[in-house]
Amino acid sequence: MAEEHKQPRLPNWLAQWLGRHTPSCQEVVRLASEGLDRKLTWRERVNVRLHFWICFLCRRYEHQVAALHQGLSRHPESFSECSEATLSEEDKARLKKACSDHR
């Protein structure tokens, strides 16, 4: 696995300020996904990039979603056979139970 680019550690006061003035992780995830379908506004792009300074998990998510999008765009024929596959009723019930147990 390639090493992730390490950013310098931010001073605590700056990380806290960014945490209060940038979008939440949930909003950044939404914007990262939307950014694949449309060009984000300048403000959205700046806010997302600032959030990445304090949240390596969102940065990692954005890289993973972009890689999936790129792979699907380059080789759509490789994934067409998966489009008809569905989960069995047993698997669906198992997943529902696991989700409800997790709450």
For residue 61, give both structure tokens. Answer: 């998510």
- Tell me the C-alpha distance between 4 and 78, whole Å: 28
- What is the pLDDT at residue 7? 65
Instruction: Count Cβ atoms below 10 Å from residue 53 Cβ, excluding itself.
Output: 16
State the chain's mean pLDDT as an integer. 80
pTM (2 d.p.) = 0.58
Specify the range with the lowest mean pLDDT, choosing from 70-74, 76-80, 93-97.
Answer: 76-80
Which burial class, exposed, middle or buried, applies to 44 when counting CB atoms under 10 A from its CB (0-12, 13-18, 19+)? middle
Enumerate the domain spans of the chain: 12-77
- Which position has the token pair 């997790």? 102
Contact of 51 with 18, CB cutoff 8 Å: yes
From 22-26, 84-88, 96-100, the region with the lowest mean pLDDT = 84-88
Least confident of 2-6, 34-38, 40-44: 2-6
